[in-house]
């Protein structure tokens, strides 16, 4: 099973040295989204704001960045029934 690494880029850059084994690329994207949503929730709880520049870079076993998820893409923003 391939190993993917999830580097956090927010107020600090945190390189994932351990990673996790996941069945495929789609599972890695889902994992990144789940983690980003947890961080967005924590930011809202802690300081009442989310910096949309923050993101998670997903690397494969070779070290290549294969996906980047910005926090703004991890959640949908709706106003008056329409996406913002």
7-52: per-residue pLDDT in tens? 999 888 999 999 999 999 999 999 999 999 999 999 889 999 888 8
Say if residue 77's pLDDT is above 90.
no
Closest CA to 28 of 5, 9, 52: 5
In DSSP terms, 9 is beta-bridged to: 13, 55
Confidence at residue 24, expressed as pLDDT on a 0 to 100 scale: 97
When pLDDT is cut at 50, 70 and 90, the band that residue 83 belongs to is: confident
Assess contact for 60 and 4: CB atoms under 8 A.
yes
The two tokens of residue 67 are 């996906």
Say if residue 84's pLDDT is above 90.
no
DSSP class of residue 52 equals T
Residue 15: CA count within 13 A, CB half-sphere? 4
């Amino acid at each position: 099973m391939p190993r993917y690494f999830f580097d956090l880029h927010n107020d600090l850059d945190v390189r994932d040295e351990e990673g996790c084994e996941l069945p495929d690329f789609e599972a890695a994207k889902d994992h990144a989204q789940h983690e980003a949503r947890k961080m967005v929730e924590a930011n809202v709880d802690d300081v009442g704001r989310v910096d949309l520049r923050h993101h998670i870079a997903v690397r494969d076993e070779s070290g290549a960045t294969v996906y980047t998820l910005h926090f703004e893409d991890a959640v949908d923003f709706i106003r008056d029934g329409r996406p913002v």
